[in-house]
A = this chain, B = another copy of it.
Amino acid sequence: MAKSVLTPQDENFPQWYQDVVAKAEMADNGPVRGTMVIRPYGYAIWERMQRELDDRIKAAGARNAYFPLFIPESYLRREAEHVEGFSPELAVVTHAGGKELDEPAVVRPTSETIINVFFAKWVQSHRDLPLLINQWANVVRWELRPRVFLRTTEFLWQEGHTAHATQADANAYAVRILNQVYEDFALDVLGIPVLVGRKTERERFAGADATYTIEGMMGDGKALQMGTSHELGQNFSRAFGIQFQDESGANQFAWQTSWGVSTRLVGALIMAHGDDAGLRLPPRLAPVQVVVLLVKADGDSGTQAAAITEQLRTSGIRVELDDRVGVSFGRRAVEWELKGVPVRIEVGPRDLAEGLVTLVRRDNQAKAQVALDGLAPRIAATLEEIQAALHADALARREALTVDVGTVDDAIKAAQSGFARIAWDTAREAEGALNEAAVSVRCLQRADGGLPGSSAEPGLVATVAKAY
């Protein structure tokens, strides 16, 4: 392995994170406190996430739309819990076009309020339901302790908003998004095993009846909430007047859901798979899956490296050629390791003379000389192996750092370095004490891992952890 330029994870995990973000050229801090600049490599990762998520969201029947950034302040006040939850975090436009506004405009912290004003116009009959809308947008929540990607004043996300004729249909859709979009994407693309569960009342979304979540474990044993899906009941439909005529001609309030994931997922990706040499990107997500590294400009090495690159591209691999022979080989190797590119193909004259190139796996640093003949399928297979290996690594860590405990004190202790599983019946009354000890209930699950229908169900398991 090339010598690392990062603070080692064991020494200082938060500093390692900041180092990776900077050295892999993922992001910079913006000038207004808590904002960030997403640099091209970080943005390419986000674009890949968007594409994979958008495909799944569309497959679940939702259509993309776009609602305004500015929300009249009065809209926020219509749902009591919602305004209480978001008020401390709002950014407010008071002046525009050289004048003071009659009514201040809030920069959206989330869009339930403004979207539901339009749902109320569009929904008249049961034939208009379900109404399934998603938007990709920036939102703003003023953060006291910002951290790049994980908790920023402005972030990018998708937010889904739906209206249904029955509570059962709304519930089924919230769970469908949780499982078929968020969990599937986390497992299958990000290679991050996630706990799928229900939030406690204390942790749920402001204005929701139920919040479902996927929670991942990061490299330091802490939890990261990676996506949430909410059942809003009729809270917003009553506040905003979303009514429909049912088949019998009676007026009913719609049942609703909302759900979102954000650029926070880039932080999850960094912390779930990264090591002391930098990022390790799962191949299905990686914007660059393979880098072809020209060792030096000897003989026809350059031509061959370009030909190999083209051949891989043709077979559908996302590949980049690095022929910057003016920069030392070692320095370039370190750069690609930092960026977590899954496979590095080193093309040098000695290997080429024997019809070989050197293949280096980023996940385990394994090196092998492989034949040029049959290279593309060989690499495609290696990429799948790496995808599986990263998931296996993350799962092994979670299993090693998860313990079953019997008391709240033991839960607090175990949560210092991983996940503590405790009977919810034991922890229910102690949630305040857990929070005072700087840990929290990440989610509730049934003993078989299934989603609880309510937090009052007997026999539930609570997972307690420190969280980002």
Contacts and interface: CB of A to CB of B under 8 A. Distances in A.
Interface in A193-236: none
Contacts of A69: 35, 107, 138, 140, 154
Contacts of A70: 30, 32, 35, 91, 140, 153-154
B97 A95 contact: no
B32 A105 contact: yes
B30 A67 contact: yes
Contact of A32 (B39, B64, B68): B68
A142 B42 CA distance: 31
A277 interface: no
Contacts of A40: 63-65, 133
Given A70-B154, A89-B97, A98-B142, 18 more contacts: A31-B71, A35-B69, A37-B66, A37-B118, A42-B65, A43-B64, A43-B65, A46-B66, A47-B64, A66-B156, A69-B140, A69-B154, A91-B93, A92-B93, A92-B96, A93-B107, A96-B142, A97-B142
Contacts of A89: 97
A301 to B, nearest CB: 22
Interface in A41-96: 42-44, 46-47, 63-72, 75, 87-96
B39 A65 contact: yes
Contacts of A97: 88-91, 142, 144
Contacts of A138: 69, 137-138
Contact of A98 (B43, B68, B88, B114): B88
A78 B138 CA distance: 26
A165 interface: no
B68 A44 contact: no
A38 interface: yes
A117 interface: yes
A285 interface: no
23 contacts: A28-B121, A31-B75, A31-B117, A35-B70, A36-B68, A37-B67, A39-B65, A46-B66, A47-B64, A68-B154, A69-B138, A70-B91, A70-B154, A89-B97, A90-B97, A93-B93, A93-B94, A93-B107, A94-B94, A97-B142, A97-B144, A98-B142, A138-B138
Contacts of A156: 66
Contacts of A42: 65
